[in-house]
Amino acid sequence: MSDSATDDAAAADGPLDEVGATLRHIRDLVAESGSVWAQGDASVSEDAAEVGRWRRKLRPVRQAVLAVLETMAATLTASAAPGEHSSGRLDYDRLRERSDLVLEWVDSLLEEATGDAEERRRRQQQVVVRERDLWRERQPAAPGGQRRAVPSQWQNNLLPKPQTAWMVDNAPRPAGDDAFAERIRAAVQAPLPLPPPAANIAATPTGSGQHPPREQDTPFVLVETPAQLEQFFAHVRGDGRAPEQRPREIAVDLESHAHRSFQGFTCLLQASTRERDFVIDAIALRKELAGPESEFVRLLNDPSVLKVFHGADSDVLWLQRDFGPEARVCNCFDTGQAARVLNEPSLSLTHLLETRCHLRENDDGKVEADAGVAAPALDKRLFQTADWRIRPLPDSMLQYARRDTHYLLFIYDRLREELEARSAVDATDWLRVVRERSATVACQVYAVEPVSADGHVALAVRQRWRLSPEEMRVLAALFQWRDAVARAEDESPAYVMPNRIMYRLTRDMPRDEVSVVRVLNAMRVSSGGTPLELAGKRAADIAAAIAGALPPTEGESADGERTARVEHTDAAQLDGAAAAPTTEAGTASATANAAVPLTRIGSMFGRRRHLHANVDETAAASRKRVIESQGDASALDSKRARVTPGDTAI
Ligand code: AMP
Ligand code: MN
Ligand code: ZN
């Protein structure tokens, strides 16, 4: 029996007349909703990425509406068939579940649409503010004036993910053999270059000691193209100079992004020689920088060039993560390790800038006290959590990034003198100690985080959550779900599901999709800007993960059998029903509105089985509401098996 025949029969029969007409109407609406933007609405089409995003968001809503239709169609056709009254009875419970879900969804999308609009406005304002602040930065900065002008990585969720430009594999990958350890350790033996002549420091010694090179006296190069990168390497190689003029030390730092990526990725590489500062766009030039043959990796490997870092612990791992396992730092000097050996009261770069470079902070910013030259205020915390993916980079961020390496060779010189002075007193080679410790840092080998069997325990301990054994099982399931989704979607676990939402779900234990969506919506306000988009889309998986961690109730088992039987009926009915509406919708649309793609509704019905499985999971998970008291638990288990965390990885 074809679906159009059913519709016609219903129309003729009377009792189902209205329902049939409504069905057809809704179905056409769904079909049209898929092509709203294809028809070029001027008010939204200006931003193609935005349109694509909303189209993706609306897809599951359309699927859910179709699921409601399918249930109706199946139960209606079943009730029309003779002798099938028991199974054909309109399943109001399931219908209500499904339409509830659709409403929740539409609700949250509307909420988000409003939120997005606000976010966009805010960002536009931000750009304006930022430009004004940059100008102000060149003047004496107003106290606290531009602090908020730097976009935070936690809030910048609308930015397209730049890592789509390269392959990301988040499968756990243990650290390989440390083939470089010997070379890294051997580099400690190599003599360090002689301290640079004072003339190279670009400032005259005064009574209080030497001054660091001033930023405004140092050429600054932003490296964004392969040609500019080649100029950077030419400078570092000392092309066109006498060999002894070649830079022997180079200060290096990295800015990385973590929130919208599973492993994180390097956004900027900063490098300073004694003459120039470079900021390299590591996103744009990732391909050129990466690989065992790249000049950048060879520079890192080259023990004849000392690489000075401040706090290299993360940097040496990030280099391997992004530029290949060969991107190892041979001949590393970590000023953080030097500060440690010198028992500095603070190991921060800020402290070294203040004490070794005579930069001090006042209300207006950092001031090069002795030289009396103002350097603008750059709030370290603000920039450390900034979104380093954004392009073009605002001047304030560029300036901050540049400053992270600009003074570093000067600091190295000072710390080295101090280490040598100390060695003269107590006969320990402190410089050697620092170089060895730096080599140990550089010997760390990068691994892609393994899937942790007890990560949830660590989380609960860290967060001081007091959980029952049952809650711990739920948390474990949520933790595994989150890890799998984060890897598959290349997002941080914190973005997929912030901890406080894990906690809420662990405590509330919603076992069906609608209840999960409800919890997410309730938490949206307090999610601190994280849109919970992924969790919202996968509410059914979350519900299944929670239900799977809990013992089935008696009602559940009984309903499991019932659901399986109804599902079978649905499928059988819809197999016949699917082809016809496609054709009919296509024909109708072709007449009424040529812009409705003929394939769309067909493909939606084509995904019916997958859809069906999802929706049925909702029903299965909410079985506890339902009746009867005996049944087949294994049918349930096989349902759950479809929604294991691994499955959520699309
Ligand atoms: P830094 O070595 O201080 O320039 O920091 C390098 C990178 O570490 C930054 O780009 C951030 O990705 C990360 N980072 C440093 N401090 C923080 C922080 N407090 N919170 C989050 N990320 C940080
Ligand atoms: Mn750093
Ligand atoms: Zn930095």
CB of 256 within 6 A of ligand 1: the answer is yes
Residue 226 has pLDDT above 90, yes or no: yes
Query: From CA 228, how far away is CA 220, in angstroms rounded?
Result: 12
Grade residue 80 by pLDDT with cuts at 50, 70 and 90. low
CB of 255 within 6 A of ligand 1: the answer is yes
Query: From CA 633, how far away is CA 639, in angstroms rounded?
Result: 10
Task: Write the pLDDT tens digit of every residue in 285-319.
Answer: 999 999 999 999 999 999 999 999 999 999 999 99
CB of 387 within 6 A of ligand 1: the answer is no
**Ligand 1: which atom is nearest the Cα of residue 264?**
12
Grade residue 135 by pLDDT with cuts at 50, 70 and 90. very low
384 contacts: CB under 8 Å, gap ≥ 6:
none
CB of 384 within 6 A of ligand 1: the answer is yes
Interval 506-526 mean pLDDT: 90
Could you tell me which residue, 50 or 622, shows the higher pLDDT?
50
CB of 253 within 6 A of ligand 1: the answer is yes
Residue 121 has pLDDT above 70, yes or no: no
Grade residue 372 by pLDDT with cuts at 50, 70 and 90. very low
- Poorest-pLDDT segment among 47-51, 326-330, 418-422, 618-622: 618-622
**What's residue 552's pLDDT?**
86
**Ligand 1: which atom is nearest the Cα of residue 311?**
2
Grade residue 112 by pLDDT with cuts at 50, 70 and 90. low
Neighbours of ion ligand 3 (CB under 5 A): 253, 404
Residue 604 has pLDDT above 50, yes or no: no
360 and 369 in contact (C-beta within 8 Å)?
A: yes
Grade residue 227 by pLDDT with cuts at 50, 70 and 90. very high
150 and 383 in contact (C-beta within 8 Å)?
A: yes
- Poorest-pLDDT segment among 132-136, 365-369, 543-547: 132-136
Interval 435-453 mean pLDDT: 97
CB of 388 within 6 A of ligand 1: the answer is yes
Interval 336-350 mean pLDDT: 97
Task: Write the pLDDT tens digit of every residue in 463-488.
Answer: 999 999 999 999 999 999 999 999 99
Neighbours of ion ligand 2 (CB under 5 A): 253
**What's residue 381's pLDDT?**
77
CB of 32 within 6 A of ligand 1: the answer is no
What average pLDDT is seen over the chain? Answer: 74
- Number of C-beta neighbours around residue 345 at 10 A: 8
Say which ligand is closest to the CA of 312: 2
Grade residue 5 by pLDDT with cuts at 50, 70 and 90. very low
Distance 255 CA to ligand 3 centre (A): 5
Q: What DSSP string runs through 72-85? A: HHHHHHHHHSTT-H
For residue 249, which phi and psi values (nearest 5 degrees)? -130, 150
The residue whose CA is least distant from atom 21 of ligand 1 is 385
521 and 104 in contact (C-beta within 8 Å)?
A: yes
403 contacts: CB under 8 Å, gap ≥ 6:
215, 375, 378
Instruction: Indicate the angle between helix axes 469-489 and 455-463, nearest 10 degrees.
Output: 110
Distance 229 CA to ligand 1 centre (A): 24
Grade residue 380 by pLDDT with cuts at 50, 70 and 90. confident
- Poorest-pLDDT segment among 125-139, 274-288, 441-455: 125-139
Grade residue 553 by pLDDT with cuts at 50, 70 and 90. confident
**What's residue 90's pLDDT?**
54
- Poorest-pLDDT segment among 114-118, 142-146, 192-196, 352-356: 142-146
Could you tell me which residue, 583 or 2, shows the higher pLDDT?
2
Write the burial class of residue 202 (CB in 10 Å: 0-12 exposed, 13-18 middle, 19+ buried).
Answer: middle
Percent of the chain residues past pLDDT 70, beyond the cut: 58
Instruction: Write the single-letter amino acid at 518.
Output: R
Closest CA to 271 of 306, 241, 242, 304: 306
